Structure 1
């Protein structure tokens, strides 16, 4: 068995030469198109990287401004509301919710002067607030009761938990 002598036929020679030249031309066109596309993508990536850097710089500036504003606002916080919660009244069999409500309102009325005051000032004077509540004596159902402050939380709302004790 032998290989057919195709090298003597000019039609096959022209076909193979055309395939080789066509392959070279298509490869050159491919390289040109790929290069142009990569160059465009490179410019796009560089442009996006610059945009990202600018936006990150803006974000850091905004965050710094935001932190400064938060610090200023925290310094300017004022007391908006005083909430008093009475506990320990179950021990003395006080089932009259109206009396408990009246006692809580009475304590809130005594602390009304704290409203619209600066938070830091009120917090510095928390011992005075505590003594104001603990020196108060209330009459509930014919018995005198005093108060002991269990918890005090300061923010724009002052939350005070007060325990009821029999004055004696």
Structure 2
């Protein structure tokens, strides 16, 4: 069997030529639309990349500013409250109301440190200890001396106090 000779028939020749021209034209249209679409995508990606770079720069600037502000605030922290705890009240059998009075007296003695910055309070911590230790406190007509065993300085000044009879 033999393939028919199509080159002698003009109808078939026009059909195949039309298919070739149609394929070429459709390929050109595809390339044009794909190219314009890709061009839009590239410009969109470039603009987004530029926007991301500017946002990253802003973030680094904000982080640096925040870090500087945090450092400044750490240096400017203030004492907001004073907490006193009597360690050996069971040894002297001091009742709870008298313990609270004693703690209030100590708080009153060192109340001037409230609203002062932590750094200055830390520099004068020995003065704070002496202020508490050099005073005699009276509980139920008995004189006591206080000894600061622990002093914690942060936004809350905490004192642990041990008492003994005054000489």
- The TM-score with structure 2 as length reference comes to 0.78
**How far is the alpha carbon of 1:20 from its aligned partner?**
2.9
**2:37 aligned partner:** 37
User: How many corresponding residue pairs?
Assistant: 165
**2:105 aligned partner:** 106
**1:56 aligned partner:** 56
Q: State how far apart, in whole Å, the 2-side matches of 1:93 and 1:11 are.
A: 123
Q: CA contact under 8 A between 2:148 and 2:162: conserved in structure 1?
A: no
**1:5 aligned partner:** 4
Residue correspondence of structure 1 range 9-88 to structure 2 within 5 A: 10-88=10-88
Question: Cα RMSD between the aligned structures?
Answer: 2.7
Change in CA separation of 1:11 and 1:115 when aligned onto 2, cut-off 3 Å: same
- The TM-score with structure 1 as length reference comes to 0.78
Q: State how far apart, in whole Å, the 1-side matches of 2:133 and 2:97 are.
A: 21
Q: CA contact under 8 A between 2:79 and 2:155: conserved in structure 1?
A: yes
Q: State how far apart, in whole Å, the 2-side matches of 1:85 and 1:29 are.
A: 87
**How far is the alpha carbon of 1:136 from its aligned partner?**
3.8
1:46-103 superposed Cα distances (whole Å, 9 cap, x missing partner): 1111112222222222233333333333333332221222333234444x22122111
Q: State how far apart, in whole Å, the 2-side matches of 1:33 and 1:100 are.
A: 88
SS of residue in 2 equivalent to 1:101: helix
